Amino acid sequence: MEQVKNRRVLVSGAGIAGTTLAYWLLRHGFEPTVVERAPALREGGYKIDVRGAALEVVKRMGVMAEVRRERTDVRGGSVVTATGKRVASMDGDTFGGREGEDAEILRGDLNRILYDLTKGEAEYLFDDSVVSLEEGPDGVEAVFESGGRRVFDLVVGADGLHSHTRALAFGAEERFVHDLGYYVSIYSVPNHLDLDRWELTYVSPNRTALTYSTAKDTGAKAMFLFASGPLEYDRRDPVAQKRLLAEAYAGEGWEVPRLLAAVGEAPDFYFDSLSQVRMDRWSKGRTVLAGDAAHCASPASGQGTSLALVGGYVLAGELAAADGDHEAAFAAYESAMRPFVDENQKLGPANIKHMVMRTRGQVWIQLKLLALMNRLPGKEKMMAKVLEPIHRAANAITLEEYERP
């Protein structure tokens, strides 16, 4: 294979965007080095969906069969009242908004599949991070927290919503991260309800709580979504975050107290705002952003993983198409991805309004409508109509073929 220009690429972040990008960079003749702050690949995590154009990326990576083997196999879900009464139940695909070949998988399982494709060829630096970047005429010198210094041709920030790479290259995150007015928390809990690949969702004013089990987990997961103004807390202080979560759900019914009581034992506690990243440009000089670092659509969109998969594919492909000319490649990457991102970012603010009800009246109406729809024939078709914007956005890009001759 002809050697490409600007082949040494530093990728910050070994999540879905970073591992996808590493795979395609290797395919196109680049030499990726992936640095990850965590001491190892992050396992487990919450369930995510792969749909639309992202399915085609997975197929082109040759791992569709493995993704199917690792699927969550959630059979269905129910909406419950404070007393635990199930007012509406649907099959897993309808409840999760999936159609056709859409796949639901735990985030950690998908990340491991992608990592396994690259770990023998790409260089991975775990338990380390970039502390400074200095661009010169022929490359970028990266200084690592471990003390090392290395020069790379290009740098990609694929390090999430609170991207340190973005801060180094573009400035403080306050300029780019926009709070939607909600918070989310997810963590593992004992399966005390003996759920068999089922999801239960409880809704009250300004608060939603749910728990589910999957075929890949002997326990269960708890997830909380609540409306709130900006909360002041240290992102590195889980004790303070757990306290904020408990305060937000104080006095709630159903299984909420029991789910909250399990937080102390959770090894995978996650807490953050529901936010979006909005930027005029995703590149500056030899540094470019991918995935949530560039355009987080928020978990409420249901499209973060798909955006990461597609973005990694397109960025590597455009670098190959431009023979390593980063200026041309970055411009083409943005041109291809921007309309797709815009469509998917619209989903977050729209979806969250249906996931968290603001008033008791809205909760009452929502439960009545769900109960009514649950008794009517053709409820799957009605749900498909509701979910049509998600599938339209998921397919709002045509993937190019970037294979080098």
SS3 312: helix
* More confident of the two residues 232 and 91: 232
Specify the DSSP class assigned to residue 129.
-
Dihedral in degrees, nearest 10, Cα atoms 291, 296, 297, 299: 90
Sequence ranges of the domains in the chain: 8-71+107-177+276-349
Pairing of strands 270-277, 177-189: antiparallel
Residue whose C-alpha is closest to residue 290's, from 274, 269, 304, 272: 304
Least reliable range by pLDDT among 24-33, 296-305, 356-365? 356-365
In this predicted structure, the answer to whether residue 359 has a pLDDT above a threshold of 80 is: yes
pLDDT band of residue 227 (cuts 50, 70, 90) is very high
Structure tokens at 321: 């198409």
Tell the residue number behind the tokens 């991102």, with chain if given: 341
| One-character DSSP codes across 272-306 | EEEEEE--S-SEETTEEE-THHHH---GGGS-HHH
Is 109 in contact with 70 (CB distance < 8 Å)?
Answer: yes
SS3 28: coil
Pairing, β 198-204 against β 76-80: parallel
Q: What percent of the chain has pLDDT over 90?
A: 81
Q: Which residues contact residue 366 at a Cβ distance below 8 angstroms, ignoring those fewer than 6 apart?
A: 203, 357
Structure tokens at 81: 């009242």
Angle at 342 between CA 337 and CA 345, to 5 degrees: 120
**Alpha-carbon gap, residue 163 to 109, rounded angstroms:** 23
Alpha carbons 312 and 399: distance in angstroms, whole number: 12
Arithmetic mean of pLDDT, 238-262: 97
Q: What does the pLDDT read at residue 405?
A: 43
Residues 102-149 pLDDT 10s: 899 999 999 999 999 999 999 999 999 999 999 998 899 999 999 999
How do residues 31-78 score in pLDDT, each as one tens digit?
999 999 999 998 878 899 999 999 999 999 999 999 999 999 999 999
Q: How far apart are CA 380 and CA 261, in angstroms?
A: 36
The class level of CATH for 8-71+107-177+276-349 reads alpha beta
Q: How many CA atoms within 13 Å lie on the side-chain side of 126? A: 9
What is the helix (H) or strand (E) element at residue 31, kind and residue range? strand 31-36
For residue 217, pLDDT beyond 90: no
Quick one: average pLDDT of 283-290?
Answer: 98
Least Cα distance to 95 among 256, 187, 212, 190 occurs for 212
- Asked if 160 contacts 307 with a C-beta cutoff of 8 angstroms, the reply is no
How many other β-carbons are positioned within 10 Å of the β-carbon of residue 192?
A: 13
Per-residue model confidence (pLDDT) at position 385? 64
Average pLDDT over residues 225-239: 95
Of 77-91, 201-215, 279-293, 296-310, least confident by mean pLDDT is 77-91
Chain-centroid distance, C-alpha 115: 16
Per-chain mean pLDDT for the chain: 92
Model confidence at 1, in pLDDT bands (50, 70, 90)?
very low
How high is the pLDDT of residue 3? 61
Q: How many Cα atoms sit within 13 Å of 55 on the Cβ side?
A: 17
* Sheet-wide strand order for 123-126: 123-126, 31-36, 8-12, 154-157, 287-289, 283-284
d(CA 370, CA 387): 15
Assigned token pair, 14: 């070994």
In terms of pTM, does the model score above 0.75? yes
CB contact set of 344 (below 8 Å; sequence gap of 6+): 297, 301, 303, 306, 307, 393, 394, 396
pLDDT at 144: 98
- Give a three-class secondary structure readout of 228-251: CCCCCCCCCCHHHHHHHHHHHCCC
- Confidence tier at 280 by pLDDT (50, 70, 90): very high
Model pLDDT, residue 99? 72
Residue-wise pLDDT tens digits, 136-170: 988 999 999 999 999 999 999 999 999 999 999 99
Residue 77 neighbours by CB under 8 Å, 6+ apart:
89, 90, 92, 95, 96, 198, 199, 200, 201, 212
pLDDT, one tens digit per residue, over 309-343 is 999 999 999 999 999 999 999 999 999 999 999 99
Residue 367 has pLDDT above 70, yes or no: yes
For residues 350-372, average pLDDT: 86
The dihedral sign for the CA sequence 94, 16, 333, 63: negative
